[in-house]
Structure 1
Amino acid sequence: MKVAVVLFTRDLRVHDNPALSTATRAAERVVPLFVHDPALPAGDNRRRFLEECLTDLKASLRQRGADLVELRGDPAAEAVRVAKAVGAEGIGVAADVSGYARDRERRLERACAGERIALKTFPGVTVVPPGAVRPGSGGGEHYKVFTPYWRAWQAQRWRDVEGAPRKLQLPDDLPASWCKDRPASTGGESAARKRLTAWLPRLEGYEDNHDAMAADKTSRLSPYLHFGCLSPREVAARVEGRPGAEPFVRQLCWRDFYHQVLFAFPDLRRKAYRASAEEHWRDESDALQAWREGHTGVPIVDAGMRQLLAEGWMHNRARLITASYLTKHLNVDWRAGGDHFFDLLLDGDVANNYGNWQWVAGTGNDTKPYRRFNPIRQAHRFDPVGDYVRRYVPELAGIEGKAVHEPWNLPEPPPGYPAPLKF
């Protein structure tokens, strides 16, 4: 093959990118392409992070003799247009699981067939492809409970990790307008790989420390995994065999679990996964707005929501607490909470965001759908001296120790901080 196009989507990296590696081996010249799709929703935080990821990807490709072509429009139409313009015989793209991604793939397939261009999809968004692990004689197209999925997932033979191509070559006479310069950036694959390398020595204490909210000892790799700046398969390989690896690998498996759930249940974002779930939500617009702004009067909830507003990220334990508070205490629809998270989170994707919201709300994959997190007990357990709360709720900065979790019980409640919402 003389020329191939690689359409980047959620695989913004050169290391362990099966689509890019295969194209490099199969074709003399490769056109790396990213299409900015106006139909794809993205909040400001995620859009800024995406721009940083693309800047870094462009730099990596240029180091290897190529560049990143950036266009705007429908990815299927633009990919075929580029392929025709450069005489490409094939297009490679990473397979994904959301309804939108699968529709994009179907449109690309039809467009390629119409122009007699070969299309090949590749793994890379998850450690194990969604359809590769299925229940046995029990039937069903996917696993609905995590623990049996975890056992089957561990038993899989994972694909080999691909190295980064050493050299790439673009076709001659590529339009200059397709490959514009980008400003310097601190995000993307280079930053992700540095973060992973720096974090690996902390892996041994992950199981004991990842729920300690003030210590902030999680990896914070989730945004990089979402955009594919890091290959989840390579991350699993990097941690494999190290002390403390299993609890962290289990989190990678949870990520794969929700991807296979979404693959089988495309309506995960809007429809209750558990058919028997009873949904009787209250229309509490004032309570929802107070929750969004971090003014519920429950410090641990407000701290989590304000961290989200400030950073576009939230500690995982805080995600559970804030989601449970909205759905199980205020009885507000999980869809409203999921949409707010999706708008603000750097790592927001359909599978993990809405899968976890449904788990907390009792409409999803939790085997104990009536589970309820008491925010005060959670605060005392996972932020025992209140440092996490004081970091994000400045009105409470002067309260010492664990009393910060129940300021309404103080002889003189702090001025300017609201009383707890009534529900």
Structure 2
Amino acid sequence: MSAGGGAGGTAGASVVLFTADLRLRDHPPLRAALGRGRTVVPLFVRDDAVTAAGFAAPNRLAFLADCLRDLDAGLRERGGRLVVRSGDVVEQVCAVAAEADAGEVHLASDHSGYAHAREERLRRALEADGRRLRVHDAVVTVVPPGRLTPGGGGRDHFAVFTPYFRRWEKERPREPLAAPHTVQVPAEVRSEELPSRPSPGELSPGLPEGGETAGRRRLAGWLRGGLDQYEAEHDALGDDATSRLSPYLHFGAVSATEAVHRARQRGGAGAEAFVRQLAWRDFHHQVLAARPSAARADYRTRNDRWRTGPAVEREVAAWRAGRTGYPLVDAAMRQLAYEGWMHNRGRLLVASFLAKTLYADWRIGARHFLELLVDGDLANNQMNWQWAAGTGTDTRPNRVLNPVVQGRRFDPDGTYVRRWVPELAGLTGSRVHEPWRLPAGERARYDYPEPIVDLADGADRFRHARGLE
């Protein structure tokens, strides 16, 4: 834990600023604040800067509202309450600290460029008031981004996952913390009403319920009934054999550290594969922490000159709508629209299709994902898109995922496609992945578009653009 300066006292109240850690269990800032003061103000600020930057998408606002409502309920069960404010985060934190006469503010470290700037602004403002900022590591991630660095050469982060993971899996995460028994909040600190969900018409119809209670229920069910098969089945699109914990991890309703501990306690190949995915999450955070510009710019430039103009705009529109003529691509995009979530294998496929087969700028796809994904995490979304586009950390940057081959491999009986592309429900087996090969008379019975691009033509165009031929 690192701490800012300041002369604030430790016997009075403390403020805990919740950000991407909306839970009571395994919450080091809350535990530290309760140990240092008689009263604590659990605070969440609806940050104007986040809204202005376009990150307040309806699906995430709905999930956030669920998380805050659940957090408030948990605090009230313990004698406390959640204090909600809106506006500039630094101004609101300083105002609440003054109202509570708090000597300290506790905050979980975060690692985007904005989070770093927020932390520095907050530290300076609190110090000017004679108060102290205490920043706690290993709350959002399992291993703090700056802890593991390559030896020699002055490199500040790992750029390849495998050597990072070798170091990561040797780390021993801290023990998860229990939820507090009681939380006493100063009565004089006012709060706004909890935010409500956006209207249903703005949301994906199949959006999951947010909050720590729902997240812990999902984690417990996953550990009992899904973890053991995860290593063998996690890529099986039709089986839906992933944990679906990513939204709860993104909002901090479930602790990644606790998930690692509990998976390792159960053990087995499934647990090892699941923990590896959590390590990928940490890997992307440490990349973005070291290179904040990778949220917008190529991590490794390939000097791409992405296609522009009406033709690619029409193709991108078909991609967004799930009407590309490639059933597996369309199924994944329709799942995204309906649930605000997509299977990870689907994410890799549709990203490769946009960036490499259509040769459209990866930022277009990353932005569309952030408009819909309830787990729209800047580090993981942007770095996964860059991986798929070949501008990120992929050691094979020019690989192109073929949607037909991917369908035969990961959805061999067409279950996933028929679930999300009901126009093709009458097709059986692998035929569902190539409807354009049906006889003309049979093909006419299905209200499904012809492919918007020939896969071979798209691959040739990509190789030429990258100077591979």
Is the aligned partner of 1:19 residue 2:29? yes
CA distance in 2, matches of 1:287, 1:308: 18
CA distance in 2, matches of 1:134, 1:312: 34
2:451 to 378, 399, 420: 420
Q: Tell me the amino acid that sits aligned with residue 282 of structure 1.
A: R
- Deviation at residue 138 of structure 1 after TM alignment: 4.1
| Aligned-partner SS, 2:242 | coil
Tell me what 2:168 maps to: 153
- Deviation at residue 139 of structure 1 after TM alignment: 3.0
Tell me what 2:185 maps to: 170
Is the aligned partner of 1:34 residue 2:65? no
Tell which deviates more after alignment, 133-142 or 328-337.
133-142
1:252-289 CA distance string (max 9 Å, x none) = 000000000000000112110014x2212111111111
Identity of aligned residues (%): 52
CA distance in 2, matches of 1:179, 1:170: 16
CA distance in 1, matches of 2:366, 2:338: 18
Q: Tell me the amino acid that sits aligned with residue 128 of structure 1.
A: V
CA distance in 2, matches of 1:151, 1:21: 31
Tell me what 1:142 maps to: 157
Tell which deviates more after alignment, 197-206 or 8-17.
197-206
- CA change 1:179–1:6 in 2 (3 A) is farther
CA distance in 1, matches of 2:370, 2:144: 23
Asked if the contact 2:159–2:393 (Cα under 8 Å) also holds between the matched residues in 1, the reply is yes
1:176-204 CA distance string (max 9 Å, x none) = x4465979x94200110011011102211
| Aligned-partner SS, 1:214 | helix
Tell me what 2:101 maps to: 87
Is the aligned partner of 1:196 residue 2:211? no
Q: Tell me the amino acid that sits aligned with residue 121 of structure 1.
A: V
Tell me what 2:273 maps to: 247
CA distance in 1, matches of 2:150, 2:405: 37
- CA change 1:360–1:186 in 2 (3 A) is closer
- Deviation at residue 39 of structure 1 after TM alignment: 2.2
1:286-314 CA distance string (max 9 Å, x none) = 11111011010000000000000000000
2:304 to 279, 295, 300: 279
Q: Tell me the amino acid that sits aligned with residue 237 of structure 1.
A: H
- Deviation at residue 160 of structure 1 after TM alignment: 2.3
CA distance in 1, matches of 2:194, 2:79: 15
CA distance in 2, matches of 1:332, 1:181: 37
Tell me what 2:88 maps to: 74
Is the aligned partner of 1:309 residue 2:337? yes
1:228-253 CA distance string (max 9 Å, x none) = 00111111011114222111100000
Tell me what 1:45 maps to: 59
CA distance in 1, matches of 2:446, 2:172: 59
- CA change 1:179–1:330 in 2 (3 A) is closer
CA distance in 1, matches of 2:343, 2:194: 36
Provide TM-score, normalisation by structure 2.
0.87
| Aligned-partner SS, 1:279 | coil
CA distance in 1, matches of 2:90, 2:218: 33
Aligned residues: 420
Tell me what 2:3 maps to: none
Is the aligned partner of 1:405 residue 2:419? no
Q: Tell me the amino acid that sits aligned with residue 42 of structure 2.
A: P
CA distance in 2, matches of 1:311, 1:256: 25
Q: Tell me the amino acid that sits aligned with residue 418 of structure 1.
A: P
Asked if the contact 1:68–1:179 (Cα under 8 Å) also holds between the matched residues in 2, the reply is no
Q: Give the gaps of 5 or more residues in structure 2.
A: 1-10, 198-207, 459-469
Is the aligned partner of 1:349 residue 2:353? no
CA distance in 2, matches of 1:132, 1:359: 23
CA distance in 1, matches of 2:417, 2:172: 43
* CA RMSD, Structure 1 to Structure 2 (Å): 1.4
2:290 to 255, 264, 285: 264
Tell me what 2:146 maps to: 131
Provide TM-score, normalisation by structure 1.
0.97
- CA change 1:22–1:179 in 2 (3 A) is farther
CA distance in 2, matches of 1:92, 1:300: 46
Asked if the contact 2:284–2:379 (Cα under 8 Å) also holds between the matched residues in 1, the reply is yes
1:325-375 CA distance string (max 9 Å, x none) = 111100011000011011110111110000000001000000111111111
